[in-house]
Amino acid sequence: MPNLRARFAMLSRPGRFAVLLVSGVIAGLGQAPFDLWPATIVALAVAFVLHGDCRSARQAAGQAWFFGLGYFAFTLRWIIEPFLVDVARHGWMAPFALLLMAGGAALFWAVAAYLAGRLMPRNIAMFGLMLVGAEVTRSLILSGFPWALLGHIWVPTALAQLAALGGPHLLSLITVLVAWSVALMVAGRWAGGLGIVALMVVAGFVVRPGPPPAPMADAPIVRLVQPNAPQHLKWDPAYRDVFLNRLVALTGQGPVPDLIVWPETAVPSLLNYIVGDMSLLEGAARGAPLVFGIQRRDDIGQFYNSFVVMGQGGAVTGIYDKRHLVPFGEYIPGGNLVGQFGISGLATTDGGGFAAGAAHGLITLPGIGPAIPLICYEGIFAEEIARGTQRPRLMVLITNDAWFGTAAGPYQHLAQARLRSIEQGLPMVRVANTGVSAMIDARGRLRAQIPLDVEGAVDVPLPPALAAPVYTRWGDWPVILLLVAAVLSGAFMRQRDSD
């Protein structure tokens, strides 16, 4: 590692930036669909070692920004896909969107490095703590964007089960600890490094979920229905009935299940137009409750992206309106003003976009019980999953991942859904327009799935819910308080040593 430092120092400034960018890209290989978590650990360890040689907080911030730029440009590469649905109208925005998203997310890491450099110059441990703090911050501010968090690399591993204790940010802290241990070992401090690695290995064995239990004989049967409607055709008048009829046909086949779930905006009409006559949907459901996504308009002309439950006789028994909307996708900040210039969100033709729903409570599914409803983007926010006195039976997430293309986006979104199940100790029914639709059990395991870009339906017994995990009661606060205490402790020790 001293040779690495020396060689890095000998490079020209563009050369150093290139090394950091490539290291960031390598770090991104730990995210889905590659799931190469050792690549993230090694690349992050390199970033830590190079941070230890920074001569100033400003240099540390610059290095962290270029490392973050590589990481986020690679992990968020799917961000260009929505702009390619209508290339003539939005295609020119794609490279700018990726650069702005990656550069903006990397700023959080740059600020973390700068603050670490000010508090404890060249201290790797402080940089690691600040990096986790940056991940918490970008999850919460400016509407929040907790995508491709460092902790997400553990989703396919046994360590993901620790999210039941501390959520995604505990996993990010573990990522930093393991990378720090590698940096310590390379620097010759084997005892500390091996100690951390051994602790993580033991933790992985302790929290292994074990084989899934056999389905209970009276478990409700849920039918997941995936129409596979490509985004560029989904709203085409020539195809809308094709996809709706496909949903109806897949729903009406075989035995009648206990619950049927369709994806986000599955019905290509406003709810206002069909609420008086649900005969097509009712005939397909054959008496089973049906969850489907649709848009609706209220009495004052506001539009909502909605989650609707239809019960027997075609009666609407529950409606949930999406609360956490996608900026520049479902709404444009200042939309009423910019809408006058023809600028609209990607998912709506209205300049003002969708309105946010008023409440995020539970919704009752006939014959099954209380459920947490989630629509698309809402599934990435661990902090916003409903917490209350009544324990839900399950989570139901309907989504349209066709916006994300067929590479990284859908798989990263699925990985986060698995994490939500672990955090809540609840099974999740996840139904996507083009995939991946899946039944996820309360340990985050995929019990059944419909692959990407496949039309089909699958009947799956609903897995049992577990006792409420620690995370459902305390959320992120234990990890946040731990970070604050560690940072203050480090700053105090530096002040004491300087005195």
Rounded Cα gap, residues 108 and 69, in angstroms: 11
Rounded Cα gap, residues 57 and 111, in angstroms: 9
Residue carrying the six token digits 């999850």: 139
Residue carrying the six token digits 């020396």: 6
Q: Is the CB of residue 152 less than 8 Å from the CB of residue 168?
A: yes
Q: Which two tokens stand for residue 283?
A: 């005939």
Cβ neighbours of residue 213 under 8 Å, at least 6 residues apart? 463, 464
Rounded Cα gap, residues 390 and 14, in angstroms: 56
Angle 318-344-453 (CA atoms, 0-180°, nearest 5)?
A: 65
Rounded Cα gap, residues 356 and 489, in angstroms: 41
Which amino acids are annotated catalytic? 264, 322, 376
Which residue from 429, 330, 422, 315 is spatially nearest to 372, judged by alpha carbons? 429
Q: Is the CB of residue 66 less than 8 Å from the CB of residue 20?
A: yes
Which residue from 329, 270, 275 is spatially nearest to 302, judged by alpha carbons? 270
